[in-house]
Amino acid sequence: MRQIEQRSADVAEMAWLAIRQPAIVSMLERDLSEISLLKPDHDALAAGLELTTQLLGEIAEGGRLCNRVSASDLLRAAADVAAAGVAASVVTWTSERLARLPVVLTDEESAAVHRVVATVFQAMQA
């Protein structure tokens, strides 16, 4: 029964993400859905959705309101991440969580997940 309850919570969190943060979902789909042409299994997209949901959940648990992020907020954040690189703390956070997911990512897919998580984090800081 606990597993069913956890699944329901996961579905509710994903639904919240889709309803409250459509620009983030669009960015994830655009940047992760077909990152690897050699391995078109969408594991990177699934991982990106999961980690983004976890990130926003942690931000909310910390007492911060998760305001809606616009596409232009994400473009600015992506430019900042591209210029400065992905912060080591974000790589560590993302890597630890990726290791717990039932997915196998190529190096290219992992790097893309790190970038999108860093982009969302950066956009939420604005």
Domain definitions of the chain by residue range:
2-125
pLDDT score, position 8: 43
Q: What is the 3-state secondary structure (H, E, C) of the chain?
A: CHHHHHHHHHHHHHHHHHHHCHHHHHHHHHHHCCCCCCCCCCHHHHHHHHHHHHHHHHHHHCCCCCCCCCHHHHHHHHHHHHHHCCCHHHHHHHHHHHCCCCCCCCHHHHHHHHHHHHHHHHHHHC
pLDDT score, position 62: 73
Rg of the chain over all Cα atoms, to the nearest angstrom: 14
In angstroms, the CA 28 to CA 32 distance is 6
pTM of the predicted model, to two decimals? 0.86
pLDDT score, position 64: 72
Q: What is the pLDDT of residues 4-57, one digit of tens each?
A: 444 444 667 777 788 889 999 999 999 998 776 667 788 999 999 999 999 988
pLDDT score, position 15: 77
pLDDT score, position 2: 46
Q: What is the pLDDT of residues 61-118, one digit of tens each?
A: 877 777 899 999 999 999 999 999 999 999 999 999 999 999 989 999 999 999 999 9
pLDDT score, position 22: 94
